Amino acid sequence: MSKRALVTGGAGFIGSHVADLFLDNGYEVVIIDDLSNGDRENLPARATFHEMDVGSPQAAAIVEQGRFDVICHLAAQLDVRKSVADPMFDARVNVLASLNLLEAVKRSGAKTRFIFASTGGAIYGDGAPLPSPENVVKNPQSPYGIAKLSVEHYLAYFANVHQMQTVALRFANVYGPRQGLHGEAGVVAIFSKRILAGQPLMIFGDGTQTRDYVFVGDVARAHLLATTIDLPKATDIDARAFNLGTAVETDVNELARTLVASAASPVPIEHAPPRAGEQHRSVVDWSKARRVLGWEPRVAVRDGLARTYQWFSERAEGAPRDAGASASASGAGASASDRSSAAGRAESAAP
């Protein structure tokens, strides 16, 4: 019998790349997404698709009856500003919907590995050592970060009390083909679209703010690797948590210049007043993922930005979805043989 994978938010940016990679590696893939933020065009033709909220009883029933080998839970409310404006909504989507799935796995009795899309910046907060390792003190400064950290505590609980196979992947700023405009790495999509429209790129502040940009294909590959490794004992929330980043800081000025160079475009780069409360530096240490998962980022930022801009350019010219699929495969090393009303979404998680 073929191996079975469930990808929540599989019509979204990261989730669709994860679904593609599992399909390419022989898995039968089921996707749950309510399309409130995902795009039907991202759905792999070979996957089984259910349009529904992952917090619903119907989604729980699919998990309970599906006998999945792995669940990649990427559906989320990912907008930090929205979490500040409506923390109850954020908790309902990011915490309660996750519990809905975890409880369903427990009831199923299946040995399902549950891989959770967490955040590699928002749970550490300002003041953490850089690059931030997994075991630093957690100090989330937004309801979004608090919700992600809360789910990680639940993962440790289900692992210790119910012997469930849980993993947290803490993303840095994920970017690449199929990216939306939300989340901090959404600046890559925003800049790409403005270049294509011949509009100036607007940078808030002096542009020295840094982020750790990791290519979506590399993030997809980490999900596949995390599916079969021998898991460490769940002694605390960090034991089965893995940062996914590059440990390379890229500031906004450099990001803009690199995209403009990739496009060979003369669009100007302009500056506006800084936004209040913006984290100035964020970069993660991914050495634990290398040791335990056998993972490393393969796509350098300059190459990944060029691929991403090319994808947006081809889309503007009417290229088919396959352009994005091939970009995912090349970044992931696949083998041959936001904001709206529910939880079925997956965009790049804000760090």
Q: Which residues are catalytic?
A: 144
- Measuring CA to CA, which residue among 175, 169, 211 is closest to residue 295? 169
Phi-psi region of 207 (alpha: psi -120 to 50; beta: other; left: phi over 0): left
| The residue count for the chain | 351
**CB-based contact 216:175 (threshold 8 Å):** yes
- Residue 144 identity: Y
Q: What is the DSSP letter of 160?
A: H
Buried b (16+ CB within 10 A) or exposed e, 36-57: bbbeeebbbeebebbebbbbbe
3-state secondary structure of 173: strand
What DSSP assignment string belongs to 56-110?
SHHHHHHHHHH--SEEEE------HHHHHH-HHHHHIIIIIHHHHHHHHHHHHT-
Residue 237 token pair:
């929330």
